[in-house]
Amino acid sequence: MANSLDAFFAALADPTRRAVIERLGHGPAAVGELHAPHDMALPSFLKHLSRLEAAGLVRSEKKGRVRIVHIEAAPFAPAEDWLARRRRLWEARLDRLQEMAESMEGDDP
Amino acid sequence: MTHDFQTIVVTRDIAATPETVFALWSDPALKEGWFMGGDRPDWASTEYVSDLAEGGEERCVFTHAEMGRFTIPSHVLIAQAPSRCVSAYRMDRGDTPITASLVTIAVARSAKGTALTPTEQIVFTDGGDSLETRVPGTEAVIDKLVAPAEA
């Protein structure tokens, strides 16, 4: 799990790659469409796509002359879980704090 | 290098006085009871050292079955009984800092007794072993964390 999280965060450590993931969250897109908003040469952009694909965050398929890129949902689950864990930790701790506070004073604060 | 900020706000309305609730934050023996306890099968707590007076230091170590050792050094910046406590802490996974946070505990009198509102402002920091940062970079991921916090 640690290794997959490392790969996940490393792949998302770049603003271009994050922008691609954000765009793909709205649906699959052609490489040309993904490249259009970015002020960089296509070969450089393709390296970013390769990085995302190698990390398992996206997959692509050729349709005729166009390559369509899709987001892969599965890799996001452990990271989301890792973030949500911080909040669940708070909730669990405050549940115990509340129980202790109320038992220290009985029903009449 | 990028920095990614998140805020978690949690609230509780507690049938106890602000003095009791504040004591549960600031008395190390009381705090250990709720802060380190609980039934979390994947986690073991291996160390808890605490001085919760203003300027004091707190340090806890947790070990997770899959993710390894987490060390959490904390520093109490402000302790104003019974209404406010502000502390700063870092979370390290292994030897790598992964987050740094400012935690503000607001304790206010309420109709039920005490309104307790901890707010954690987190920055996800550099991964430590390269110039790349390990931030949760997508809005979708961030929204899922922040939305319930703001609900």
- Whether B78 has a pLDDT exceeding 90, the answer reads yes
Give B 88-127 residues with CB within 8 A of chain A: 93, 112-114, 116, 118, 120, 122, 127
Extract the tokens encoding B11: 């609230």
Give A 45-74 residues with CB within 8 A of chain B: none
Confidence of residue B127 (pLDDT cuts 50, 70, 90): very low
Q: Which residues contact A97 (CB under 8 A, 6 or more apart)?
A: B12, B14, B21, B24, B34, B116
Distance from CA of A87 to the nearest CA of B (A): 7
Confidence of residue B113 (pLDDT cuts 50, 70, 90): very high
Interchain CB distance below 8 Å, B20 and A104: yes
Distance from CA of B117 to the nearest CA of A (A): 10
Number of neighbouring beta carbons within 10 Å of residue B122: 21
Q: What is the mean pLDDT of residues B108-112?
A: 95
B68: left (phi > 0), else alpha (psi -120 to 50), else beta?
left
Is B7 within 8 Å of chain A by CB?
Answer: no
CA nearest to A84, candidates B44, B10, B25 = B10
B5 vs B92, higher pLDDT: B92
Interchain CB distance below 8 Å, B137 and A84: no
Confidence of residue B148 (pLDDT cuts 50, 70, 90): very low
For chain A, give the number of residues.
109
pLDDT per residue as tens digits for the range A22-76: 888 777 899 999 999 999 999 999 999 999 998 888 989 888 889 999 888 766 6
pLDDT of residue B33: 85
Is B129 within 8 Å of chain A by CB?
Answer: no
Of A13, A83, A92, the CB nearest to B132: A13
pLDDT per residue as tens digits for the range B14-66: 999 999 999 998 898 898 888 877 666 677 888 888 888 999 999 999 887 77
Interchain CB distance below 8 Å, B34 and A93: yes
Of B10, B37, B112, the CB nearest to A94: B10
Confidence of residue A89 (pLDDT cuts 50, 70, 90): confident
pLDDT of residue A4: 63
- Whether A10 has a pLDDT exceeding 70, the answer reads yes
- Whether B73 has a pLDDT exceeding 90, the answer reads yes
Interchain CB distance below 8 Å, B127 and A22: no
Share of chain B above pLDDT 70, in %: 76
